[in-house]
Amino acid sequence: MIKSEVFIRVLYAHTDNMGIVNNARYLEYFEAGRNTLLRELGFPYTEIEKLHYGLPVIEAHAKYISTAKYDDIVKVAAILKKLPGVRIMIDYELFVNDKLIVTGYTEHSFINLDTMKPIRPPKDFMEIVKPYFSAK
């Protein structure tokens, strides 16, 4: 398992008429989470792009348990629970003051940016990731 955390201050622009963060905005918070996860892993998404790979979102899910409000600091935990293959699944757990407010996941597929076809992950990426999932 690999886990990272990043913190986001809620702006007015993130909230809606109901006084809470708009449901669509959380998918951007998810992106901030996985951006941080890949960077801390030593393989930022910009590196993936430089190798002509892409990682488009093929599925996204969010469960809204509670709410974040203006000026709250949201902790976004991004978690890689399973060794990636052509597909990679990232889980998210969002907290305000240690209270879980949103959970979710995104699934991605490695693609070749030239052909836009699915492709196995870069070898260097797998070498970095594998040790986290080795048998104990």
Residues that bind a second copy (CB under 8 A): 9, 11-13, 15-20, 22-25, 27-28, 31-32, 35, 44-46, 54, 56-64, 67, 69-71, 106
- In this structure, are residues 116 and 126 in contact, taking their beta carbons and an 8 Å threshold? no
| Rounded-to-integer distance, Cα 82 and Cα 102, Å | 21
- In this structure, are residues 130 and 122 in contact, taking their beta carbons and an 8 Å threshold? no
Token representation of residue 88: 């990679």
User: Which residues, listed in sequence order, are joined to residue 79 by a DSSP beta bridge?
Assistant: 3, 91
Output 13 or 135, the one with its CB closest to a second copy: 13
CB of 105 to a second copy, least distance (A): 10
CB of 21 to a second copy, least distance (A): 10
Output 30 or 95, the one with its CB closest to a second copy: 30
Output 2 or 32, the one with its CB closest to a second copy: 32
CB of 131 to a second copy, least distance (A): 25
CA nearest neighbour of 132 among 88, 84, 86: 84
